[in-house]
Amino acid sequence: MSAAPKPPAKLDFGHAPETIQFWKRLVREALSLSTPTPFYVFSSLPIDERIAELDTALKNAGIKSALHTPTTAIAFRHWLSCKTQPVAPLLRWWREQGRGIEVVSEFELRAAFKEGFTPQNILVNGPAKHHWLSHFELRDLAVNFDSPAELTALLPLAQNLNWRCGVRILTGEEVDPESPQFPTQFGFAPDEAVRALKKLLRSKVRTETVQFHLRSNVSTVAAYERAIVEVAGICCAAKFSPLHLDIGGGVPVRRILTRSSKVYDGEFGLRSFAQMLRQAVKLFPGLRELWLENGRFISAGSGVLVVKILEMKERRGVRQFICDGGRTLNALMSVWEQHALISLAERGGAETLTVVHGPTCMAFDQLARVSLPRSLKVGDYLLWLDAGAYHLPWETRFSHGHAAVCWHDEHGLRRVRERQSFENFWSQWQ
């Protein structure tokens, strides 16, 4: 008979008590609206806080917001990463702040228009977009080309429609995170980027931007700095002075741990990041704006997933919860990440090793393996915190429909998406 597994060490995710109470209050309000579990609650307030935090660091380093700065000074501009949290009320709220949106697909571009963004406030990124962007005749778009084939195919449109053009550069810092010996599939290699910039300059289109995007959760400020220095060298070789330096996203998230219980932002400080950027922009004579597309840093803390315990089992020294939501349906990020998991009700007393499962018929469907109070019972609600980034885009319909969604902003909380019905689930078939 093997010994019972030892409970994992208690993890401290660093959430302030007022943050916990904020989410519990919103979840109780959502339940009072008869919202069926599983469901998500998203709020604009944490997004506002993260933007303000990043803005403060940049402003303290001497870089001002483009929303309030004359064009004679170098300024920063935030773009909403649509793919990170494609929630319609968020897009509307963001547009009302006067900010632009970054899209990487036809559906995202259509969503941006549906929610009132003008072409002047849309930045188009992503690979192979010459297979869909040519369907739109939109003037004054900002478009970052991703490959020689894409540039060749879309250059006539860029000329005719007065696009504000740029190129994405594959720097030496950008590698496949699972196999670091290989590069990613995005952008122009350095020699290709020089040729592309020269081609754009010869064509007399509005060539304004150079872009790179390292990855999610960049671990050090030095990685950004090395990439910026490399991009500056490419611009120099192409005899190109960009108006905009687009450094993508990648500022690491807070209060989320790796599967090995390490913090993502342990070696990354916003203050040193901002100070590095202040010095790095000097490498680009004539630069007007620094563009940022941080999705996860801004939105991860803006949502929670709420599930209900349906059943309990005890076996081999482990307690197992079967819940109505979990990894397979709602939180694929749990494959790589550990998030704080709390109960809505105040449950105390002795704790025991507990595995929280979703309702699908897969052993893979494991949201967390943590120590939880033995006093938890069937019918209790569990909150998986920091579910605002990539949870909704990677939601599945494995044997079940999509979850309900509630949205909270300065106007209060409301349900903005109903739980998917069987009729909607099955009506796609001819």
- List the domain boundaries for the chain: 17-43+301-426, 66-294
Confidence of residue 10 (pLDDT cuts 50, 70, 90): confident
| Residue 1: pLDDT over 60 | no
In this prediction, residue 73 carries a pLDDT of: 78
| For residues 169-189, average pLDDT | 95
Residue 374 pLDDT greater than 90, yes or no: yes
**Nearest residue to 27 via CA among 373, 380, 396:** 380
Mean of the per-residue pLDDT values of the chain: 96
What pLDDT, on the 0 to 100 scale, is given for residue 11? Answer: 83
Mean pLDDT on 327-341: 97
8 Å CB contact between 105 and 84: no
What's the pLDDT tens digit per position in 99-134?
A: 999 999 999 999 999 999 999 999 999 999 999 999
Q: What is the reported pLDDT for 178? A: 87
Q: Is the pTM of this model over 0.85?
A: yes
pLDDT band at 45 (very low <50, low <70, confident <90, very high): very high
pLDDT bin (cut points 50, 70, 90) of residue 12 is confident
Asked if pLDDT for residue 9 goes beyond 90, the answer is: no
pLDDT digits (tens, 9 = 90+) for 389-398: 999 999 999 9
Helices 221-237 and 270-280, packing angle to 10 deg = 10
The confidence score (pLDDT) of residue 415 equals 98
Q: Could you write out the three-class secondary structure of the chain? A: CCCCCCCCCCCCCCCCHHHHHHHHHHHHHHHHCCCCCCEEEEEHHHHHHHHHHHHHHHHHCCCEECCCCCCCCCEEEEEEECCCCCCHHHHHHHHHCCCEEEECCHHHHHHHHHCCCCHHHEEECCCCHHHCHHHCCCCCCEEEECCHHHHHHHHHHHHHHCCEEEEEECCCCCEECCEEEEECCCCECHHHHHHHHHHHHHHCCEEEEEECCCCCCCCCHHHHHHHHHHHHHHHHHCCCCCCEEECCCCCCCCCCEECCCCECCCCCCHHHHHHHHHHHHHHCCCCCEEEECCCHHHHHHHEEEEEEEEEEEEECCEEEEEECCCHHHHCHHHHCEECCEEECCCCCCCEEEEEEECCCCCCCCEEEEEEEECCCCCCCEEEECCCCCCCCCCCCCCCCCCCEEEEEECCEEEEEECCCCHHHHHCCCC
* CB contact at 8 A, 251 and 270: yes
Residue 71 reports pLDDT greater than 60: no
Per-residue pLDDT at 35 exceeds 60: yes
Identity at 143, one-letter amino acid code: V
Q: Would you place residue 67 in the very low, low, confident or very high pLDDT band (cuts 50, 70, 90)?
A: confident
CB 314 within 8 A of CB 63: no
Tell me which of 176 and 367 has the higher pLDDT.
367
Kindly report which listed range (32-46, 221-235, 252-266) carries the lowest average pLDDT score.
252-266
Multiple choice CATH, 66-294, 3.40.190.10, 1.10.10.10, 3.20.20.10, 2.60.300.12: 3.20.20.10
Instruction: Enter the CATH code of domain 17-43+301-426.
Output: 2.40.37.10
The whole-number pLDDT of residue 69 equals 59
Check for a shared fold between 17-43+301-426 and 66-294.
no
Q: What percent of the chain has pLDDT over 90?
A: 95
Band (7; pLDDT cuts 50, 70, 90): low
